[in-house]
A and B are shown apart, each in its own frame.
Chain A
Amino acid sequence: MKFLETIGAYLLFMRRIFARPERRRVFFREMTNELEKLGLNSIVLVMIISFFIGAVLTLQTAYNMSNPLLPRYLIGYLTRETLLLEFSSTIVSLILAGKIGSNIASEIGTMRVTEQIDALEAMGVNSVSYLVGPKIAAALVINPALYVFSVFIGIIGGFLAGLSAGSVNYDDYINGLHFEFNPYYVTYSIIKTLFFALVFTSIPAFYGYNTRGGALEVGKASTRSVVDSSITILVVNLILTKILL
């Protein structure tokens, strides 16, 4: 029963997010700020993780291909497929759910307990639309871009690790990257990143907005939002994979 009540409250919350913003100029100014806060500040993290995961994927694939009948270009191929289909969309989004999600929940939660949201409402501002709308819009822009960036960096990481460890040569790796490339996988993953962006911004915002009490409750809202948005991302991933592939 409590679960259904939460879902209902979340849907009502989402309806308020998509209300027309009072001032478009204010909305776009806030969205630009969010692009910097959510997107640019995540680039280094995405870059480091993607580089090392790409490197490890290549080395592990090479290590498990002791059979001489298996062509070496499969190393590049499997690295690419893993990055394209799952890692750069789902795993990066899960990481961002932790980084960005906890940030959003604690920011909005603190605004709630320090009456900053009441101050906005008292000024006649639709606080949900004002606070959450620009964050979602920014995440919808930045998450697909981070996906493309992550794939690119992961492939470079795999290439450098494979080459330096002598696991794969230049031609095999490049051939593997080209082998049976299906552009639809990119479309599929970008669609997933859009849904994940909606999840890892709106769920933490919902928990932050409904925080009552003090610092302890802000911390709880932050933790709960990361757990719930991560689980939701996994469920949405399964559903979208079933529908789109």
Chain B
Amino acid sequence: MIEVKGVTKYFDTKKVLQEVSATFEKGKVNLIIGKSGSGKTVLLKSLIGLLPVDAGHIAFDEREITGDNMKNMKEIRKEMGVVFQGGALFDSLPVIENVMFPLHLFTRSGEAEKRERALFCLRRVNLNDVGHLYPAELSGGMKKRVAIARAIVLQPRYLFCDEPNSGLDPLTAIVIDNLLSELTHEYGMTTIINTHDMNSVFEIGENIIFIHEGRKEWEGDREAILHSTNQALNEFLFTSKFNRMVKENIS
């Protein structure tokens, strides 16, 4: 479980996060949703320790990482996997080496053992015989799956994904969503996904946080979101005629 209390972040004088508080539960797919520029990526990067917060607290299973407690982050990093928006695979390394990279850093296993673990993770994300390829030779969906394989190779307790299905066709996007959901339940991870994809919200969102202009505006699950009366949330989710129609029918 990850707890966020009163997190505030400034870029120069601009307040990009305003006292955000939330609880991200273990074994669930937690979604952070919001418009582009709403502050959700800043929140995610603050959670993974890439951006220090100016005020507030963040705790991973009661281990603080803010203020003087940044040293806890070193230990927590070994327990977290991150999937970046574009995959962030290392261009100079073939797929297999990309997946083995965290194993080189954090384990003292032999080369064969590491390779076997990496191949297992690649198979788990439904990728076979791609270990020798370089990232430039992969499609967008394959890159995302390799990034997921790399993120789970250390069997993390926490999984962070920044818009994992951006730039993908709807079918591949749902495959990625379902894969993340399956892995979350299989490994009992605390998964946090940043997204503005409505399909993801209704497909896998078990705990959803809506960020609007740097503030947490709404929190609930995918059932509750359909009945929400929050104006900003409804404007964000139900802008298209189709989505409005779906909401009216369900309501």
Chain A residues proximal to chain B, CB less than 8 Å: 22-23, 26, 110-111, 114-116, 118-119, 121-125
Check B105–A23 contact: CB distance below 8 A: yes
Task: Looking at the assembled complex, report how far the CB atom of A212 sits from the nearest CB atom of chain B, in whole angstroms.
Answer: 12
Contact residues in B for A125 (Cβ distance below 8 Å)? 105
Contacts of B88 in A (CB 8 A): 114-116, 118-119
Chain B positions 88 through 114: 1 when the CB is less than 8 Å from some CB of chain A, otherwise 0 = 111100000000011011000000000
A123 engages B86 (CB within 8 Å): no
Cα of A114 to Cα of B89 in the assembled complex, Å: 9
In the complex, whether B155 has a CB less than 8 A from a CB of chain A is: no
18 A-B Cβ contacts within 8 A?
A23-B104, A23-B105, A110-B91, A111-B90, A114-B88, A114-B91, A115-B84, A115-B88, A116-B91, A119-B90, A121-B49, A122-B49, A122-B77, A122-B80, A123-B102, A124-B73, A124-B74, A124-B78
B50 at the interface (CB under 8 A from A): yes
- Inter-subunit contact B50/A124 (CB<8 Å): no
Q: Within the assembled complex, what's the spacing in Å between the Cα atoms of A26 and B93?
A: 14
Complex CA distance for A115 and B45, rounded to whole angstroms:
12
Partner of A115, one of B74, B77, B85, B102: B85
- B125 CB within 8 Å of chain A: no
**B84 to A119, Cβ gap below 8 A?**
yes
Give, as a whole number of angstroms, the nearest-CB distance from A30 to chain B.
Answer: 10
Which residues from chain A contact B78 at a C-beta distance below 8 Å?
Answer: 124
The answer to whether the Cβ of B225 comes within 8 Å of any Cβ in the partner chain is no
A118 touches B84 (CB 8 A): yes
A111 to B92, CA, bound (A): 10
Residue B48 at the A interface, CB < 8 A? yes
Which residue in chain B gives the minimum CB-CB distance to A119?
B88
Q: What are the residues of chain B within 8 A of A111 when measuring CB–CB?
A: 90-91
Separation of A115 and B89 alpha carbons in the complex (Å)? 9
Least CB distance, A80 to chain B, in whole angstroms: 40
Q: Total A-B pairs in contact (CB under 8 Å)?
A: 47
Are B105 and A124 neighbours in the complex by a CB distance under 8 Å?
yes
- Known contacts A122-B80, A122-B82, A116 near B105 by CB under 8 Å: no
A133 CB to closest chain B CB (Å) equals 15
Question: A121 — which chain B residues lie within 8 A by C-beta?
Answer: 49-50
Task: Give Cα A118 to B77, complex, Å.
Answer: 13
Contact A123 B101 (CB under 8 A): yes
In the complex, A23 Cα to B82 Cα: how many Å?
21
Nearest A residue to B76 via CB reads A124
Q: How far is the CA of A23 from the CA of B101 in the complex (A)?
A: 12
Known pairs A118-B88, A122-B77 / 17 extra A-B pairs, C-beta < 8 Å: A23-B105, A110-B91, A114-B91, A115-B86, A115-B88, A116-B88, A116-B89, A116-B91, A122-B160, A123-B82, A123-B102, A123-B105, A124-B73, A124-B74, A124-B77, A124-B78, A125-B105
The 10 closest A-B pairs by CB, nearest first: A124-B77, A119-B88, A115-B88, A115-B84, A122-B82, A116-B88, A122-B48, A114-B86, A123-B102, A116-B90
Nearest-CB residue, chain A, relative to B147: A119
Task: Return chain B residues, CB-CB under 8 Å to A116.
Answer: 88-91
* A118-B50 in contact given A123-B77, A124-B77, A124-B78 (Cβ < 8 Å): yes
Which residues of the partner chain B approach A123 to less than 8 Å between Cβ atoms?
Answer: 77, 82, 101-102, 105
When chains A and B are docked, how far (Å) is the Cα of A26 from the Cα of B107? 12
CA distance A225 to B93 in the complex (A): 25
Complex alpha-carbon distance, A121 and B86, angstroms: 16
- B10-54 CB mask vs A (1 if < 8 Å, else 0) is 000000000000000000000000000000000001001110000
Q: A114-B86, A116-B88, A116-B90 are in contact. Are A122 and B50 (CB under 8 A)?
A: yes
Q: How far is the CB of A121 from chain B (nearest CB, A)?
A: 6
Task: Give the distance in Å from the alpha carbon of A110 to the alpha carbon of B136 in the complex.
Answer: 13
Alpha-carbon separation in the docked complex, A240 to B172 (Å): 60
